[in-house]
Structure 1
Amino acid sequence: MRWGRFAGYAMLWAYAAVALAPIVVMLLNSLRPNTEVLSEPLRLPATLDFSSYATAWSEASFSSYVRNSLVVTISAVALDVAVSLPAAYVLGRYRLRAGGMLTAYFLAGLMLPVRLGILPVFYLLGTLNLVDSRLGLVLVYASSGVPFSVFIMAAFFRGLPRELQDAARIDGAGELRIFSRVMVPLVKPAIATVVVFRFVPLWNDFFFPLVLMRTTGRYTLPVGLTQFFGEFQTNWSALFAGLVIAALPLIVLFVVATKQIVEGLTAGMGR
Protein backbone atom coordinates (compact mmCIF):
# COMPACT_ATOMS: atom_id res chain seq x y z
CA MET A 1 0.00 0.00 0.00
CA ARG A 2 2.84 2.34 0.92
CA TRP A 3 4.67 1.57 -2.34
CA GLY A 4 1.49 2.17 -4.31
CA ARG A 5 1.02 5.56 -2.69
CA PHE A 6 4.67 6.43 -3.32
CA ALA A 7 4.33 5.46 -6.99
CA GLY A 8 1.19 7.58 -7.29
CA TYR A 9 2.91 10.64 -5.79
CA ALA A 10 5.96 10.07 -8.00
CA MET A 11 3.80 9.99 -11.13
CA LEU A 12 1.99 13.17 -10.09
CA TRP A 13 5.25 15.02 -9.41
CA ALA A 14 6.68 13.80 -12.72
CA TYR A 15 3.60 15.03 -14.56
CA ALA A 16 3.80 18.39 -12.75
CA ALA A 17 7.46 18.75 -13.71
CA VAL A 18 6.76 17.98 -17.37
CA ALA A 19 3.78 20.37 -17.42
CA LEU A 20 5.62 23.21 -15.70
CA ALA A 21 8.89 22.91 -17.62
CA PRO A 22 7.73 24.95 -20.69
CA ILE A 23 6.31 27.65 -18.39
CA VAL A 24 9.59 27.89 -16.47
CA VAL A 25 11.60 28.10 -19.71
CA MET A 26 9.24 30.80 -21.02
CA LEU A 27 9.54 32.84 -17.81
CA LEU A 28 13.33 32.58 -17.60
CA ASN A 29 13.86 33.47 -21.26
CA SER A 30 11.62 36.51 -20.89
CA LEU A 31 14.10 37.85 -18.32
CA ARG A 32 17.18 37.46 -20.54
CA PRO A 33 18.56 39.60 -23.38
CA ASN A 34 17.72 38.34 -26.83
CA THR A 35 21.34 37.47 -27.62
CA GLU A 36 21.49 35.09 -24.66
CA VAL A 37 18.20 33.46 -25.64
CA LEU A 38 19.50 32.79 -29.16
CA SER A 39 22.86 31.43 -28.02
CA GLU A 40 21.83 29.37 -24.96
CA PRO A 41 18.02 29.06 -24.69
CA LEU A 42 18.03 26.64 -21.72
CA ARG A 43 20.54 28.47 -19.54
CA LEU A 44 19.62 30.33 -16.36
CA PRO A 45 19.72 34.14 -16.77
CA ALA A 46 22.96 35.74 -15.60
CA THR A 47 21.09 38.96 -14.77
CA LEU A 48 17.41 39.76 -14.73
CA ASP A 49 16.45 41.99 -17.66
CA PHE A 50 12.87 43.33 -17.68
CA SER A 51 13.24 45.46 -20.81
CA SER A 52 11.49 42.81 -22.92
CA TYR A 53 8.27 43.39 -20.98
CA ALA A 54 8.38 47.10 -21.77
CA THR A 55 8.95 46.26 -25.43
CA ALA A 56 6.03 43.84 -25.53
CA TRP A 57 3.69 46.16 -23.61
CA SER A 58 4.32 49.36 -25.57
CA GLU A 59 5.95 48.71 -28.94
CA ALA A 60 3.95 45.56 -29.71
CA SER A 61 0.61 47.09 -28.58
CA PHE A 62 0.13 44.38 -25.99
CA SER A 63 -1.61 46.84 -23.71
CA SER A 64 -4.52 47.19 -26.15
CA TYR A 65 -4.72 43.43 -26.72
CA VAL A 66 -4.84 42.78 -22.96
CA ARG A 67 -7.49 45.47 -22.50
CA ASN A 68 -9.63 44.03 -25.28
CA SER A 69 -9.35 40.50 -23.90
CA LEU A 70 -10.23 41.63 -20.38
CA VAL A 71 -13.25 43.63 -21.52
CA VAL A 72 -14.59 40.91 -23.82
CA THR A 73 -13.94 37.94 -21.52
CA ILE A 74 -15.17 39.50 -18.28
CA SER A 75 -18.28 40.94 -19.95
CA ALA A 76 -19.10 37.64 -21.67
CA VAL A 77 -18.69 35.59 -18.48
CA ALA A 78 -20.74 38.08 -16.44
CA LEU A 79 -23.55 38.09 -19.02
CA ASP A 80 -23.41 34.29 -19.26
CA VAL A 81 -23.80 33.88 -15.48
CA ALA A 82 -26.52 36.55 -15.26
CA VAL A 83 -28.62 34.78 -17.90
CA SER A 84 -27.90 31.22 -16.75
CA LEU A 85 -28.58 31.67 -13.03
CA PRO A 86 -32.36 32.27 -13.29
CA ALA A 87 -32.77 29.57 -15.93
CA ALA A 88 -30.82 27.06 -13.83
CA TYR A 89 -32.84 27.99 -10.75
CA VAL A 90 -36.16 27.35 -12.49
CA LEU A 91 -34.99 24.06 -14.02
CA GLY A 92 -33.44 22.88 -10.78
CA ARG A 93 -36.11 23.89 -8.27
CA TYR A 94 -39.47 23.63 -10.08
CA ARG A 95 -41.31 20.81 -11.78
CA LEU A 96 -42.35 22.06 -15.19
CA ARG A 97 -44.39 20.28 -17.83
CA ALA A 98 -41.82 21.26 -20.42
CA GLY A 99 -38.89 20.70 -18.04
CA GLY A 100 -37.67 17.63 -19.91
CA MET A 101 -37.81 19.42 -23.25
CA LEU A 102 -35.95 22.43 -21.86
CA THR A 103 -33.27 20.20 -20.38
CA ALA A 104 -32.89 18.40 -23.71
CA TYR A 105 -32.68 21.78 -25.44
CA PHE A 106 -29.78 22.90 -23.25
CA LEU A 107 -28.08 19.51 -23.62
CA ALA A 108 -28.30 19.89 -27.39
CA GLY A 109 -26.40 23.15 -27.00
CA LEU A 110 -23.63 21.21 -25.27
CA MET A 111 -23.45 18.56 -27.98
CA LEU A 112 -23.41 20.89 -31.00
CA PRO A 113 -20.21 22.99 -31.30
CA VAL A 114 -21.02 26.65 -31.86
CA ARG A 115 -18.29 26.85 -34.53
CA LEU A 116 -20.49 24.75 -36.82
CA GLY A 117 -22.83 27.73 -37.06
CA ILE A 118 -20.20 30.33 -37.86
CA LEU A 119 -21.85 31.35 -41.17
CA PRO A 120 -25.31 32.07 -39.67
CA VAL A 121 -23.63 33.82 -36.73
CA PHE A 122 -21.53 35.94 -39.07
CA TYR A 123 -24.50 36.93 -41.22
CA LEU A 124 -26.63 37.68 -38.14
CA LEU A 125 -23.97 39.93 -36.66
CA GLY A 126 -23.51 41.57 -40.05
CA THR A 127 -27.23 42.35 -40.19
CA LEU A 128 -27.01 43.91 -36.72
CA ASN A 129 -23.83 45.83 -37.63
CA LEU A 130 -21.92 43.98 -34.91
CA VAL A 131 -19.10 42.54 -37.04
CA ASP A 132 -15.76 44.04 -35.94
CA SER A 133 -17.40 44.94 -32.64
CA ARG A 134 -16.47 43.89 -29.13
CA LEU A 135 -20.18 43.80 -28.26
CA GLY A 136 -20.83 41.25 -30.99
CA LEU A 137 -18.00 39.07 -29.72
CA VAL A 138 -19.35 39.33 -26.16
CA LEU A 139 -22.81 38.23 -27.28
CA VAL A 140 -21.44 35.24 -29.19
CA TYR A 141 -19.29 34.15 -26.26
CA ALA A 142 -22.04 34.61 -23.67
CA SER A 143 -24.70 32.77 -25.65
CA SER A 144 -22.40 29.87 -26.47
CA GLY A 145 -21.70 29.29 -22.78
CA VAL A 146 -25.29 29.33 -21.51
CA PRO A 147 -25.98 25.56 -22.00
CA PHE A 148 -22.90 24.55 -20.01
CA SER A 149 -23.58 27.08 -17.26
CA VAL A 150 -27.25 26.11 -16.92
CA PHE A 151 -26.38 22.41 -16.80
CA ILE A 152 -23.80 22.88 -14.01
CA MET A 153 -25.77 25.32 -11.84
CA ALA A 154 -29.10 23.49 -12.23
CA ALA A 155 -27.46 20.39 -10.70
CA PHE A 156 -26.41 22.45 -7.68
CA PHE A 157 -29.82 24.09 -7.28
CA ARG A 158 -31.45 20.67 -7.52
CA GLY A 159 -29.40 19.37 -4.60
CA LEU A 160 -30.35 22.13 -2.14
CA PRO A 161 -32.86 21.21 0.61
CA ARG A 162 -36.42 22.24 -0.23
CA GLU A 163 -36.96 23.18 3.43
CA LEU A 164 -34.91 26.33 2.85
CA GLN A 165 -37.43 27.57 0.31
CA ASP A 166 -40.38 26.66 2.52
CA ALA A 167 -38.86 28.42 5.54
CA ALA A 168 -38.22 31.57 3.51
CA ARG A 169 -41.83 31.56 2.24
CA ILE A 170 -43.14 31.21 5.81
CA ASP A 171 -41.06 34.26 6.74
CA GLY A 172 -42.84 36.20 3.98
CA ALA A 173 -40.11 36.25 1.33
CA GLY A 174 -41.18 36.39 -2.30
CA GLU A 175 -39.76 34.25 -5.08
CA LEU A 176 -37.29 36.91 -6.22
CA ARG A 177 -35.98 37.40 -2.70
CA ILE A 178 -35.70 33.64 -2.14
CA PHE A 179 -33.70 33.36 -5.33
CA SER A 180 -31.34 36.28 -4.69
CA ARG A 181 -30.92 36.12 -0.89
CA VAL A 182 -31.25 32.42 -0.08
CA MET A 183 -30.43 30.26 -3.09
CA VAL A 184 -27.75 32.17 -4.99
CA PRO A 185 -25.36 32.46 -1.99
CA LEU A 186 -25.58 28.68 -1.54
CA VAL A 187 -24.38 27.97 -5.08
CA LYS A 188 -21.30 30.20 -5.01
CA PRO A 189 -19.00 27.19 -5.60
CA ALA A 190 -21.00 26.39 -8.74
CA ILE A 191 -20.77 30.01 -9.91
CA ALA A 192 -17.00 30.03 -9.31
CA THR A 193 -16.66 26.76 -11.23
CA VAL A 194 -18.63 28.15 -14.16
CA VAL A 195 -16.63 31.40 -14.15
CA VAL A 196 -13.28 29.61 -14.28
CA PHE A 197 -14.32 27.00 -16.82
CA ARG A 198 -15.77 29.69 -19.09
CA PHE A 199 -13.06 32.30 -18.58
CA VAL A 200 -10.17 30.08 -19.67
CA PRO A 201 -11.45 29.00 -23.13
CA LEU A 202 -12.74 32.51 -23.90
CA TRP A 203 -9.42 34.08 -22.94
CA ASN A 204 -7.58 31.62 -25.18
CA ASP A 205 -10.06 31.60 -28.06
CA PHE A 206 -8.53 32.37 -31.43
CA PHE A 207 -11.31 31.40 -33.85
CA PHE A 208 -14.08 33.96 -33.29
CA PRO A 209 -11.84 37.06 -32.91
CA LEU A 210 -10.05 36.05 -36.12
CA VAL A 211 -13.34 35.70 -38.04
CA LEU A 212 -15.34 38.56 -36.52
CA MET A 213 -12.69 41.26 -36.00
CA ARG A 214 -11.26 43.44 -38.75
CA THR A 215 -9.52 46.28 -36.91
CA THR A 216 -6.10 45.55 -35.41
CA GLY A 217 -6.80 47.76 -32.41
CA ARG A 218 -9.76 45.54 -31.45
CA TYR A 219 -7.90 42.23 -31.55
CA THR A 220 -7.83 40.09 -28.45
CA LEU A 221 -4.63 38.50 -27.13
CA PRO A 222 -4.62 35.24 -29.15
CA VAL A 223 -5.01 37.08 -32.46
CA GLY A 224 -2.71 39.86 -31.32
CA LEU A 225 -0.01 37.29 -30.68
CA THR A 226 0.01 36.41 -34.38
CA GLN A 227 0.84 40.04 -35.18
CA PHE A 228 3.54 39.87 -32.56
CA PHE A 229 5.08 36.77 -34.15
CA GLY A 230 5.27 38.40 -37.54
CA GLU A 231 6.75 41.74 -36.51
CA PHE A 232 9.02 40.63 -33.68
CA GLN A 233 9.98 37.16 -34.87
CA THR A 234 13.70 37.73 -34.17
CA ASN A 235 13.16 39.22 -30.70
CA TRP A 236 12.54 35.99 -28.82
CA SER A 237 12.96 37.59 -25.41
CA ALA A 238 10.13 40.03 -26.11
CA LEU A 239 8.05 37.20 -27.54
CA PHE A 240 8.45 35.17 -24.33
CA ALA A 241 7.55 38.27 -22.32
CA GLY A 242 4.36 38.62 -24.33
CA LEU A 243 3.47 34.98 -23.66
CA VAL A 244 4.02 35.50 -19.93
CA ILE A 245 1.72 38.52 -20.00
CA ALA A 246 -0.94 36.47 -21.80
CA ALA A 247 -0.72 33.64 -19.25
CA LEU A 248 -0.60 35.81 -16.12
CA PRO A 249 -4.38 36.49 -15.75
CA LEU A 250 -5.14 32.76 -15.96
CA ILE A 251 -2.57 31.98 -13.27
CA VAL A 252 -3.97 34.68 -11.00
CA LEU A 253 -7.51 33.42 -11.58
CA PHE A 254 -6.62 29.85 -10.62
CA VAL A 255 -4.70 30.98 -7.52
CA VAL A 256 -7.59 33.16 -6.32
CA ALA A 257 -10.38 30.71 -7.14
CA THR A 258 -8.71 27.40 -6.23
CA LYS A 259 -10.73 26.93 -3.04
CA GLN A 260 -14.05 27.64 -4.75
CA ILE A 261 -13.15 25.37 -7.68
CA VAL A 262 -12.36 22.44 -5.37
CA GLU A 263 -15.55 23.01 -3.39
CA GLY A 264 -17.59 23.19 -6.58
CA LEU A 265 -16.10 20.04 -8.08
CA THR A 266 -16.37 17.98 -4.89
CA ALA A 267 -19.93 19.16 -4.25
CA GLY A 268 -20.87 18.28 -7.82
CA MET A 269 -19.34 14.80 -7.38
CA GLY A 270 -21.33 14.35 -4.21
CA ARG A 271 -24.53 14.91 -6.12
Structure 2
Amino acid sequence: PKRPRLHESRGRRRTRRLAVQSILWLYTAIAFGPLLLVLVGSFRTNSDILRQPVGLPTSLNLDNYVQAWGTASLSTYFLNSLIVTVASVFLCVMVSAMAAYALSRWQFRGRALLAAFFISGLMIPAKLGLLPVFYMYQSMGLIDSRLGLVLLYAATGIPFSVFVIMGFTRAFPTDLEEAARLDGANEGRMFVSVALPIMRPALAVATIFQFALTWNDFFYPLVLLRSDDKYTVPVGLTRFFGEFAADRATLFAGLVIALVPLAIIFALATRHIIAGLTAGMSR
Protein backbone atom coordinates (compact mmCIF):
# COMPACT_ATOMS: atom_id res chain seq x y z
CA PRO A 1 0.00 0.00 0.00
CA LYS A 2 2.95 2.33 0.43
CA ARG A 3 4.09 2.14 -3.18
CA PRO A 4 0.96 3.70 -4.74
CA ARG A 5 1.22 6.57 -2.26
CA LEU A 6 4.88 7.02 -3.18
CA HIS A 7 4.06 7.04 -6.90
CA GLU A 8 1.13 9.34 -6.21
CA SER A 9 3.31 11.81 -4.30
CA ARG A 10 5.94 11.73 -7.04
CA GLY A 11 3.24 12.32 -9.61
CA ARG A 12 1.89 15.27 -7.68
CA ARG A 13 5.37 16.76 -7.32
CA ARG A 14 5.99 16.30 -11.04
CA THR A 15 2.67 17.93 -11.88
CA ARG A 16 3.34 20.80 -9.50
CA ARG A 17 6.82 21.30 -10.92
CA LEU A 18 5.44 21.29 -14.46
CA ALA A 19 2.79 23.85 -13.51
CA VAL A 20 5.39 26.15 -11.92
CA GLN A 21 7.68 25.85 -14.93
CA SER A 22 4.79 26.61 -17.28
CA ILE A 23 3.91 29.73 -15.30
CA LEU A 24 7.55 30.88 -15.34
CA TRP A 25 7.86 30.31 -19.09
CA LEU A 26 4.60 32.20 -19.65
CA TYR A 27 5.88 35.08 -17.54
CA THR A 28 9.17 35.05 -19.48
CA ALA A 29 7.30 35.20 -22.79
CA ILE A 30 5.15 38.10 -21.57
CA ALA A 31 8.17 39.98 -20.19
CA PHE A 32 10.55 39.43 -23.10
CA GLY A 33 7.99 39.45 -25.91
CA PRO A 34 7.90 43.25 -26.31
CA LEU A 35 11.70 43.42 -26.06
CA LEU A 36 12.01 40.86 -28.83
CA LEU A 37 9.59 42.85 -31.01
CA VAL A 38 11.66 46.00 -30.43
CA LEU A 39 14.89 44.18 -31.28
CA VAL A 40 13.46 42.69 -34.47
CA GLY A 41 11.83 46.00 -35.45
CA SER A 42 15.15 47.83 -35.10
CA PHE A 43 16.46 45.90 -38.12
CA ARG A 44 13.43 46.60 -40.30
CA THR A 45 12.64 49.64 -42.39
CA ASN A 46 10.03 52.13 -41.29
CA SER A 47 7.85 51.41 -44.32
CA ASP A 48 7.83 47.69 -43.47
CA ILE A 49 6.80 48.41 -39.88
CA LEU A 50 3.98 50.72 -40.98
CA ARG A 51 2.76 48.17 -43.49
CA GLN A 52 3.12 45.16 -41.18
CA PRO A 53 3.76 46.04 -37.49
CA VAL A 54 4.76 42.49 -36.54
CA GLY A 55 7.12 40.66 -38.85
CA LEU A 56 10.68 39.62 -39.57
CA PRO A 57 13.21 41.88 -41.31
CA THR A 58 13.83 41.16 -44.97
CA SER A 59 17.50 42.12 -44.54
CA LEU A 60 19.91 43.10 -41.77
CA ASN A 61 19.39 46.87 -41.85
CA LEU A 62 21.83 48.81 -39.65
CA ASP A 63 20.89 52.25 -40.96
CA ASN A 64 18.48 52.72 -38.07
CA TYR A 65 21.31 52.36 -35.55
CA VAL A 66 23.53 54.75 -37.50
CA GLN A 67 20.78 57.36 -37.58
CA ALA A 68 19.86 56.92 -33.92
CA TRP A 69 23.49 57.05 -32.77
CA GLY A 70 24.65 59.96 -34.89
CA THR A 71 21.83 62.04 -36.31
CA ALA A 72 19.60 61.85 -33.22
CA SER A 73 22.48 62.67 -30.81
CA LEU A 74 21.87 59.48 -28.86
CA SER A 75 25.63 59.04 -28.61
CA THR A 76 25.84 62.19 -26.45
CA TYR A 77 23.09 61.00 -24.12
CA PHE A 78 24.64 57.55 -23.96
CA LEU A 79 28.07 58.93 -23.03
CA ASN A 80 26.56 61.17 -20.34
CA SER A 81 24.68 58.25 -18.83
CA LEU A 82 27.77 56.06 -18.92
CA ILE A 83 29.92 58.67 -17.17
CA VAL A 84 27.33 59.45 -14.49
CA THR A 85 26.37 55.82 -13.88
CA VAL A 86 29.87 54.33 -13.72
CA ALA A 87 31.22 57.12 -11.51
CA SER A 88 28.27 57.10 -9.10
CA VAL A 89 28.16 53.29 -8.85
CA PHE A 90 31.90 53.07 -8.17
CA LEU A 91 31.74 55.79 -5.51
CA CYS A 92 28.61 54.33 -3.90
CA VAL A 93 29.84 50.74 -3.78
CA MET A 94 33.30 51.60 -2.49
CA VAL A 95 32.00 53.85 0.29
CA SER A 96 29.33 51.28 1.17
CA ALA A 97 31.86 48.44 1.25
CA MET A 98 34.11 50.31 3.66
CA ALA A 99 31.18 51.35 5.86
CA ALA A 100 29.67 47.86 5.87
CA TYR A 101 33.01 46.25 6.72
CA ALA A 102 33.60 48.61 9.63
CA LEU A 103 30.05 48.29 10.98
CA SER A 104 29.99 44.50 10.77
CA ARG A 105 33.57 43.63 11.85
CA TRP A 106 34.70 46.37 14.22
CA GLN A 107 33.54 46.85 17.80
CA PHE A 108 33.17 50.49 18.87
CA ARG A 109 30.77 52.65 20.82
CA GLY A 110 27.75 53.78 18.80
CA ARG A 111 28.15 51.08 16.16
CA ALA A 112 24.53 49.92 16.37
CA LEU A 113 23.24 53.50 16.21
CA LEU A 114 25.40 54.27 13.20
CA ALA A 115 24.24 51.10 11.43
CA ALA A 116 20.62 52.05 12.15
CA PHE A 117 21.32 55.50 10.71
CA PHE A 118 22.51 53.97 7.44
CA ILE A 119 19.64 51.50 7.22
CA SER A 120 17.05 54.19 8.01
CA GLY A 121 17.79 55.67 4.61
CA LEU A 122 15.85 52.74 3.12
CA MET A 123 12.66 53.91 4.82
CA ILE A 124 12.77 57.50 3.58
CA PRO A 125 12.16 58.11 -0.16
CA ALA A 126 15.11 60.12 -1.41
CA LYS A 127 12.91 62.18 -3.74
CA LEU A 128 11.15 63.74 -0.74
CA GLY A 129 14.34 65.67 -0.03
CA LEU A 130 14.70 67.04 -3.54
CA LEU A 131 13.82 70.64 -2.61
CA PRO A 132 16.60 71.03 -0.01
CA VAL A 133 19.01 69.28 -2.37
CA PHE A 134 18.02 71.65 -5.17
CA TYR A 135 18.66 74.75 -3.06
CA MET A 136 21.94 73.30 -1.75
CA TYR A 137 23.08 72.48 -5.30
CA GLN A 138 22.07 75.95 -6.44
CA SER A 139 24.23 77.57 -3.76
CA MET A 140 27.14 75.23 -4.61
CA GLY A 141 26.88 75.72 -8.37
CA LEU A 142 26.05 72.06 -9.03
CA ILE A 143 22.84 72.66 -10.99
CA ASP A 144 23.29 71.49 -14.60
CA SER A 145 26.35 69.51 -13.57
CA ARG A 146 27.16 65.85 -14.10
CA LEU A 147 29.19 65.94 -10.88
CA GLY A 148 26.05 66.88 -8.96
CA LEU A 149 24.23 63.85 -10.37
CA VAL A 150 27.13 61.56 -9.50
CA LEU A 151 27.19 62.73 -5.87
CA LEU A 152 23.41 62.52 -5.53
CA TYR A 153 23.14 59.02 -7.00
CA ALA A 154 26.03 57.78 -4.88
CA ALA A 155 24.51 59.21 -1.69
CA THR A 156 21.01 57.84 -2.33
CA GLY A 157 22.37 54.38 -3.16
CA ILE A 158 24.49 53.98 -0.02
CA PRO A 159 21.73 52.79 2.39
CA PHE A 160 20.71 49.84 0.21
CA SER A 161 24.31 48.94 -0.64
CA VAL A 162 25.36 49.03 3.03
CA PHE A 163 22.37 46.84 3.92
CA VAL A 164 23.29 44.23 1.29
CA ILE A 165 27.02 44.17 2.02
CA MET A 166 26.57 44.14 5.81
CA GLY A 167 24.40 41.04 5.60
CA PHE A 168 27.19 39.32 3.70
CA THR A 169 30.20 40.49 5.71
CA ARG A 170 28.67 39.46 9.05
CA ALA A 171 29.14 35.83 7.98
CA PHE A 172 32.88 36.24 7.35
CA PRO A 173 35.07 33.64 9.09
CA THR A 174 37.38 35.26 11.62
CA ASP A 175 40.25 32.91 10.77
CA LEU A 176 41.30 34.92 7.73
CA GLU A 177 41.43 38.17 9.66
CA GLU A 178 43.39 36.61 12.50
CA ALA A 179 45.89 35.12 10.03
CA ALA A 180 46.28 38.51 8.33
CA ARG A 181 46.91 40.22 11.67
CA LEU A 182 49.55 37.64 12.56
CA ASP A 183 51.26 38.46 9.25
CA GLY A 184 51.37 42.12 10.27
CA ALA A 185 48.54 43.42 8.07
CA ASN A 186 46.78 46.58 9.23
CA GLU A 187 43.04 47.23 8.86
CA GLY A 188 43.40 48.84 5.45
CA ARG A 189 45.45 45.95 4.14
CA MET A 190 42.95 43.42 5.48
CA PHE A 191 40.09 45.26 3.81
CA VAL A 192 41.80 45.35 0.42
CA SER A 193 43.44 41.91 0.42
CA VAL A 194 41.03 39.83 2.53
CA ALA A 195 37.59 41.45 2.67
CA LEU A 196 37.12 42.77 -0.86
CA PRO A 197 37.78 39.43 -2.62
CA ILE A 198 35.28 37.67 -0.35
CA MET A 199 32.76 40.51 -0.81
CA ARG A 200 32.53 40.03 -4.58
CA PRO A 201 29.03 38.47 -4.63
CA ALA A 202 27.62 41.21 -2.39
CA LEU A 203 29.44 43.90 -4.36
CA ALA A 204 27.97 42.47 -7.57
CA VAL A 205 24.43 42.66 -6.16
CA ALA A 206 24.91 46.26 -5.01
CA THR A 207 26.52 47.21 -8.32
CA ILE A 208 23.75 45.70 -10.43
CA PHE A 209 20.91 47.30 -8.51
CA GLN A 210 22.60 50.68 -8.33
CA PHE A 211 23.57 50.56 -12.01
CA ALA A 212 20.03 49.73 -13.12
CA LEU A 213 18.43 52.40 -10.93
CA THR A 214 20.90 55.08 -12.01
CA TRP A 215 20.85 54.23 -15.72
CA ASN A 216 17.05 54.22 -15.87
CA ASP A 217 16.43 57.25 -13.66
CA PHE A 218 14.46 60.01 -15.33
CA PHE A 219 13.56 62.25 -12.40
CA TYR A 220 16.84 63.71 -11.18
CA PRO A 221 18.34 64.55 -14.60
CA LEU A 222 15.07 66.20 -15.63
CA VAL A 223 15.07 68.44 -12.54
CA LEU A 224 18.78 69.16 -12.11
CA LEU A 225 20.04 69.40 -15.70
CA ARG A 226 19.44 72.29 -18.07
CA SER A 227 21.71 71.71 -21.09
CA ASP A 228 20.77 69.32 -23.86
CA ASP A 229 24.37 68.15 -24.21
CA LYS A 230 24.35 66.96 -20.55
CA TYR A 231 21.10 64.99 -20.61
CA THR A 232 21.23 61.29 -19.83
CA VAL A 233 19.55 58.57 -21.88
CA PRO A 234 16.10 58.56 -20.18
CA VAL A 235 15.66 62.33 -20.59
CA GLY A 236 17.27 62.30 -24.02
CA LEU A 237 14.86 59.60 -25.18
CA THR A 238 11.90 61.90 -24.55
CA ARG A 239 13.34 64.41 -26.99
CA PHE A 240 14.29 61.51 -29.24
CA PHE A 241 10.67 60.29 -29.28
CA GLY A 242 9.39 63.73 -30.14
CA GLU A 243 11.85 64.13 -33.02
CA PHE A 244 11.40 60.65 -34.50
CA ALA A 245 7.77 59.95 -33.61
CA ALA A 246 6.98 58.94 -37.19
CA ASP A 247 10.16 56.88 -37.67
CA ARG A 248 9.46 53.81 -35.59
CA ALA A 249 12.42 51.84 -36.86
CA THR A 250 14.83 54.49 -35.56
CA LEU A 251 12.92 54.60 -32.27
CA PHE A 252 13.34 50.85 -31.88
CA ALA A 253 17.07 51.15 -32.59
CA GLY A 254 17.40 53.87 -29.97
CA LEU A 255 15.62 51.74 -27.37
CA VAL A 256 17.91 48.79 -28.11
CA ILE A 257 20.99 50.99 -27.70
CA ALA A 258 19.65 52.23 -24.36
CA LEU A 259 19.12 48.65 -23.13
CA VAL A 260 22.50 47.25 -24.20
CA PRO A 261 24.50 48.25 -21.06
CA LEU A 262 21.90 46.75 -18.73
CA ALA A 263 21.81 43.51 -20.71
CA ILE A 264 25.61 43.24 -20.69
CA ILE A 265 26.06 43.87 -16.97
CA PHE A 266 23.24 41.48 -16.04
CA ALA A 267 24.71 38.77 -18.27
CA LEU A 268 28.20 39.18 -16.83
CA ALA A 269 27.19 39.32 -13.17
CA THR A 270 24.31 36.82 -12.97
CA ARG A 271 26.39 34.18 -11.18
CA HIS A 272 27.62 36.68 -8.59
CA ILE A 273 24.09 38.05 -8.09
CA ILE A 274 22.71 34.59 -7.28
CA ALA A 275 25.63 33.87 -4.95
CA GLY A 276 25.18 37.19 -3.17
CA LEU A 277 21.41 36.83 -2.73
CA THR A 278 21.65 33.25 -1.44
CA ALA A 279 24.74 33.68 0.72
CA GLY A 280 22.80 34.69 3.80
CA MET A 281 20.40 31.77 3.51
CA SER A 282 23.11 29.18 2.93
CA ARG A 283 25.23 30.14 5.94
Question: Is TM (by shorter chain) over 0.5?
Answer: yes
Partner of 1:180: 192
- Give yes or no for the alignment of 1:194 onto 2:200: no
SS of residue matched to 1:107: helix
Give, in angstroms, the shift of residue 14 of structure 1.
1.0
Decide which of 54, 63, 69 is 2:75's aligned counterpart. Answer: 63
After superposing on structure 2, the runs of 4+ consecutive aligned residues of structure 1 that deviate more than 6 Å are none
Distance 2:59 2:44 in 1: 7
Decide which of 165, 188, 209 is 1:153's aligned counterpart. Answer: 165
**Structure 1 length-normalised TM:** 0.98
SS of residue matched to 2:122: helix
Q: What code does the residue aligned with 1:153 have?
A: I
Task: Write the mapping of 1:231-242 to structure 2, written as runs, cut at 5 A.
Answer: 231-242=243-254
Give, in angstroms, the shift of residue 161 of structure 1.
1.0
Contact kept, 8 Å, 2:217 with 2:234, in 1: the verdict is yes
Give, in angstroms, the shift of residue 196 of structure 1.
0.3
Give, in angstroms, the shift of residue 249 of structure 1.
0.7
- Give yes or no for the alignment of 1:82 onto 2:94: yes
Give, in angstroms, the shift of residue 18 of structure 1.
0.9
**Comparing 33-42 and 237-246, the one that deviates more:** 33-42
Partner of 2:35: 23
Distance 2:281 2:264 in 1: 25
Distance 2:59 2:165 in 1: 49
Partner of 1:54: 66
Q: What code does the residue aligned with 2:185 have?
A: A
Decide which of 99, 107, 115 is 1:103's aligned counterpart. Answer: 115
Q: What code does the residue aligned with 1:139 have?
A: L
Distance 2:108 2:121 in 1: 20
Q: What code does the residue aligned with 2:233 have?
A: L
Query: What runs of 5+ residues in structure 1 fail to find an aligned partner?
Result: none
Count how many residue pairs are aligned between Structure 1 and Structure 2: 271
Task: Write the mapping of 1:209-220 to structure 2, written as runs, cut at 5 A.
Answer: 209-220=221-232
Give, in angstroms, the shift of residue 268 of structure 1.
2.9
Distance 1:134 1:269 in 2: 39
Percent identity over paired residues = 50
Post-superposition Cα deviations, 1:42-93, rounded to whole Å, max 9, x if no partner, equal: 1222222111111100110000000000000000000101211111111010
Distance 1:58 1:2 in 2: 53
**Structure 2 length-normalised TM:** 0.94
Give, in angstroms, the shift of residue 151 of structure 1.
1.1
- Give yes or no for the alignment of 1:5 onto 2:36: no
Q: What code does the residue aligned with 2:127 have?
A: R
Report the RMSD for the aligned CA atoms in angstroms: 1.0
Distance 1:42 1:269 in 2: 44
Distance 2:56 2:262 in 1: 25
Distance 1:183 1:202 in 2: 26
**Structure with the greater alpha carbon radius of gyration:** 2
**Comparing 47-56 and 213-222, the one that deviates more:** 47-56
Distance 2:187 2:141 in 1: 38
Decide which of 140, 143, 147 is 1:131's aligned counterpart. Answer: 143
Partner of 1:116: 128
Distance 2:216 2:23 in 1: 28
**Comparing 59-68 and 33-42, the one that deviates more:** 33-42
Give, in angstroms, the shift of residue 107 of structure 1.
1.7
